[in-house]
Each structure stands twice: as C-alpha cells, then as structure tokens.
Structure 1
Amino acid sequence: KAYKHNWNFSTPKGRFHVLRKVADPIWTRPEWDFLEAGEDIPVFAEDPRRFQRGILGSYAIYFLKDIMIHGTLYEINLGKSITHGCIRVDEQDLSYLYENVETGWPVYVF
C-alpha cells in the first residue's frame, strides 16, 4: 500500500550557482520515493534498488545538493509540475547547457 503524505517538492526560487555537472547521471531514490510506491525502504545505502540510470536524461547540472537541471524519459510531460523540485528540459537544450555552462556560473530560478 502506498504511503500518502503531503510532501513539498516546489522548486526553490532565487539566485544559485552551478555546483557540478554530471554526464550519464544516476538517480538515487530517496526514502520518500519508496514510501510513495508502497515499497520497503532498503536497509543499506548501497542497495541496487536505490540507483536508476537514465531517469535524469544524459546530463545533470546541479545548483543545490539534490536539485538540478536534468532531462527526462518522457519529454511529452515537459512543462507539467511533476518533478520533485528539479527543472526538466529536453535533451537538445540539456546538451547545449551541459556543453556551454561552467561550474560557478549563476543560475536564476523565478
């Protein structure tokens, strides 16, 4: 049975900086994702169920510890409020950003 909770996953607004850029990022499922799916939370941090390749697209550009600009498997859903605080873009824009922005550059979220 899925766990129901009123999580707040709004994208933080403000001025940030690019912290790091990652090619072929691996999403690490947080505990709330297991709860929402009605799954048991893995006991060990290294449990393979926690790690999913491809979910974030080809690149991730972090501007907070767990918040990033990334791609998506389902570009048809771009523009919909379905992320958990991140900013999703299409692969073409993501590739351009990854190749052209530098660590330390400002990121403005309105």
Structure 2
Amino acid sequence: MGKVEGFIVTTVGILGVTHDEGLRQKYNLTLDVIKELILEFEPDVICGEVLPSSWKQYQQDRSHRGYWGEPASEYWDLIFPLCEEKKYEFVPIDWVELA
C-alpha cells in the first residue's frame, strides 16, 4: 500500500479458482499451486465467496461446514487454515436471498 497525492493506493489481487478437485488437477491449479500464489502475493486480507453467516458459524465451531456444502472445499482445505497460520484477515463477501 502506498500514497499518491493524498490518496491511499491499494494493490488488489484476484485469484479465480474452480471448486472441483478434478478440474483443479486437469488445469494444474491444485491447492498447492493456489497456496504458492497466495504466499507470493502476501495479502493483508483475503476476501472469499463465503456467506457471512457461514463464516460466523465457522468461527464458533471449526468443524461446521456451512449450509448446502458452502463454502467450497478450498476454503476448508486451504484458505481458512492458511489465514490462521499466516494471520491473514479473512472477510466473507458472498450473499444469498432465500425465497
């Protein structure tokens, strides 16, 4: 993060992933590769496709796996543990309207 004429400049990285392990293998975007990319970027915060209610539930009970299989497996298997290990802040940014 830097400053430009009174403004704070922030670098944002966007990392798209597939939620399917078979596709991760097929396209060489395994969790190990994703981890390497995150570590190289050195984020201050990771925002993820996770419902705020699921994130809150996870914080209360690490074994809770959300609703309807949400969030996707890469969060349980990589993102959440990596955030805890590296002290990255995690911010859930998904939402849904239930009819």
TM range (shorter): under 0.3
TM-score by length of 1: 0.24
Hey, which of these two has a bigger chunk of strand by percent?
1
Structure scoring higher RCO (CA < 8 A, sep ≥ 6) equals: 1
